[in-house]
Amino acid sequence: MRVTNNMITSNTKSNINANKVLVDKYNTQMTTQKKINKPSDDPVIAIRSLRMQTSLSHIDQYLNNNISDANSWLNVTDTALENMKTILTDVRSLCVKGATDTLKEDDRRTILNQLKSLSDQIYAEGNADFSGRTVFTGYRTTEQLTFKTDEETTSYTIDQKLSYKDISEARYTYGSVDVPTDATNSFDETISIGENTYDRLRLAYGKINGKDNSDGTGAIDPISSMSYTTAAGKKVELDLAQGKFVDENGAETGKFTMYESKEEWLKANNGEAKVEDTDMVFIKDTGEMILGKDLSNTLKREKADLSITYTKTGFDAGEVRPEYYYDCKMKTPDMQEAVQYTKEDQPINFEISSGIMLAANTQASDVLSTDIGRDMTEMMTLVSASTQAHDKVSRIEKMMSMDKYSDEESQKKLQTYLDAANKEATYADDNLSKTYQQFISNFDGYLNKVNVAHTNVGGLQQRVELTKTRVENQKETVEELKSNNDNRDISDIIIDYYAAYNAYTSSLTAASKVGSQTLLNYL
């Protein structure tokens, strides 16, 4: 094969350029310490680098945002649950204190003041929020658990489920002493004061007025429907029009009577708290269903579940909103259609690692029962009744010590009042003591729910911390792999650079010899 000078020159130029490219490559690597400068340099390295960069972006999202947010959410929840536990423990202590029969006037006033303070705070803890998102309200994180202000015209139609396990004993006193302003006046010597004990079921709310605010007439009955079903499947329904319960065969099983208040109930029964054995009495003001003896025994024996739909218009600030606890419909005067709410599980999920979802939220219905507020309200009512009864005794005793009533006739009249007032105070104290004793177990149950939720949150916090540690280790591993894939050691680059540079200078030296002599030099 004939090799010409042009061929030698061309090859020399190509070799010089190739060596120059290598020098430039290693010079760039020395500056960047990267294996490649563009994807075309090595597509395999480029693809692996992109994949690992994507993984690092995801890991940074988990560490800097998702895990951090989940941890903060859980910390807010943990603090709120700790506060709830403290409040419920304090209320339970008041139950223990109130259950004694040695309370003095100062003790009763102290209990009342503490209950007022604690009742304002317990549901307020359910409004705890993280970055403006309430943590106990499921998906509705922009709304609070409780009503912010009094809403007198807001109506809710609520579907509430009750069980035979919710039946509790309650004492209903009747009769009251009116302290005379003047013992010389005539008076009724037959002051009847007594007490009856019945089982009851209690709704989540009192003041079940049933007003319909769509046209302002208030025409809707407070109760739309009621029925109970036994464990064997036997169903008994309330016939509101007839005021009676009927079974599946249409036979009457008991009567149903509705009263505005306890006072109206007493008035209808000649001043006595009374319900027939097979009947039910419903008190709108307190939201109580008072059960006759036989009806209560039937519900317990047959392990019945009761369903009731009722309408309440008007809620006080601080009351819990029904939509977080029950299926219900809400309507205000300016709404054309009612809003339907369905009670369901509403988890707030955080993706704390690839494919790992964490439901960080705790729903109010799993922690704060509506019965807590009802119990505390009843406790305050009972201690107030006891205080008022003892105040009557003190006022009558003071009158008896006055000179103007020292005559035998006045003393006799005042003694009659005093005996009745002492009887009223005795019933009030007995009701206070027994109810507070009964509520000790109630608040043990409420505390247990909070403790379970608190333990669950603690477990979630530990899970988040373990995941965080694993993701941090994963980040270090991926960063190391990416570094090995993308970067070169500077010492290796220097060696390759000098080798390429020497080859380049050698090629230049060799090129200088090419073409310096031709055939003409030998002619």
Q: Which residue has the higher pLDDT, 380 or 32?
A: 380
Residue 184: the pLDDT is 67
Contact in structure between 118 and 86 (CB atoms under 8 Å)? no
| Banded pLDDT at 281 (limits 50, 70, 90) | very high
Q: Specify the pTM.
A: 0.84
Axis-axis angle for helices 370-400, 408-486 (nearest 10) = 150
List of long-range contacts for 106-114, beta carbons under 8 Å, 24+ apart: 108/383, 108/386, 108/387, 108/390, 109/387, 111/379, 111/383, 112/380, 112/383, 112/384, 112/387, 114/90
Average pLDDT over residues 159-183: 89
H/E run at residue 153:
strand 151-163
Residue 259: the pLDDT is 94
Q: Per residue in 377-390, pLDDT tens?
A: 999 999 999 999 99
Residue 453: the pLDDT is 95
- Per-domain residue ranges for the chain? 1-33+493-523, 35-127+365-487, 146-345
Q: Per residue in 444-468, pLDDT tens?
A: 999 999 999 999 999 999 999 999 9
Residue 217 in this model has a pLDDT that exceeds 60: no
Q: Per residue in 59-87, pLDDT tens?
A: 999 999 999 999 999 999 999 999 999 99
| Banded pLDDT at 227 (limits 50, 70, 90) | very high
Residue 216: the pLDDT is 47
Average pLDDT over residues 245-260: 94
| Banded pLDDT at 513 (limits 50, 70, 90) | confident
| Banded pLDDT at 518 (limits 50, 70, 90) | low
Residue 256 in this model has a pLDDT that exceeds 50: yes
Contact in structure between 472 and 478 (CB atoms under 8 Å)? no
What gap in Å lies between CA 200 and CA 295, rounded to an integer?
10
Backbone angles phi, psi at 116, to 5 degrees: -60, -45
SS3 of the chain: helix, strand, coil, percent, to 5: 55, 20, 30
Average pLDDT over residues 412-426: 89
Residue 200 in this model has a pLDDT that exceeds 70: yes
With b for 16 or more beta-carbon neighbours within 10 A and e for fewer, the 176-213 pattern comes to bbebbeebeeeeeeebebebeebbbbbbbbbebbbbbb
| Banded pLDDT at 517 (limits 50, 70, 90) | low
Q: For the ranges 134-138, 362-366, 396-400, 497-501, which has the lowest average pLDDT?
A: 497-501
Residue 523 in this model has a pLDDT that exceeds 70: no
Q: Per residue in 316-365, pLDDT tens?
A: 999 999 999 999 999 998 888 999 999 999 999 999 998 899 999 999 99
Contact in structure between 248 and 223 (CB atoms under 8 Å)? no
Domain 35-127+365-487 is found in CATH 1.20.1330.10: yes
Q: Per residue in 285-328, pLDDT tens?
A: 999 999 999 999 999 999 999 999 999 999 999 999 999 999 99
Q: Per residue in 114-152, pLDDT tens?
A: 999 999 899 999 999 999 999 999 999 999 999 999 999
Q: Which residue has the higher pLDDT, 200 or 355?
A: 200
What gap in Å lies between CA 490 and CA 497, rounded to an integer?
10
Backbone angles phi, psi at 227, to 5 degrees: -155, 160
Residue 520: the pLDDT is 60
Residue 493 in this model has a pLDDT that exceeds 90: no
Place of tokens 């947010």: 69
Residue type, 437: Q
> Tell me, what DSSP letter sits at residue 128?
-
